[in-house]
A = this chain, B = another copy of it.
Amino acid sequence: MPTHQDRIALSTAGHGDMHNLTDPVTTIVRDSELHEGLVHVHNVGSTGAVGTIEFEPGLQEDLPDMLDELFPPDKPYAHEQRWHDDNGHAHLQATTLSPSVTVPVGERAPILGTWQQIFHLECDTKPRERTVIVTVRGD
């Protein structure tokens, strides 16, 4: 059975909160018993993002800060004029970063650099309960 799908539940603290998903993703890959292939990590919902980064306190501050510079929270977005939910910047940040990342699998583990981790970033304004779908496909 070359597909193994599992999920990670996350409670986020709201805008700019980051989680390191490398350990739970590595565990799911090992449990899949697939040796070589790909693992795909996906945030369900349009205001959260997934990618890779050196997961350390400095960049945990810099990434959300720079996204707020590029897509400022206080702009009069058309999304907010229509829905009055004050999170236009959250949508634009998450769409630009991407809801998911795919990482190669070799020897039953994600192939990452020493300082490269898989992260989840909460872009929405409020704390959220998040579901991250992890799909491993390989041989």
Contacts and interface: CB of A to CB of B under 8 A. Distances in A.
B102 A78 contact: no
Interface size classification for chain A:
35 or more
B45 A103 contact: no
A80 interface: yes
Contacts of A139: 1-3
Interface of A: 1-3, 5, 36-38, 40, 42, 44-46, 51-54, 56-59, 61-63, 65-66, 70-71, 77-83, 88, 91-92, 95-104, 106, 111-113, 115-117, 133, 135, 137-139
Task: Across the A-B interface, give the 6 residue pairs with the lowest CB-CB distance, nearest first.
Answer: A58-B79, A45-B113, A58-B78, A58-B82, A46-B116, A61-B78
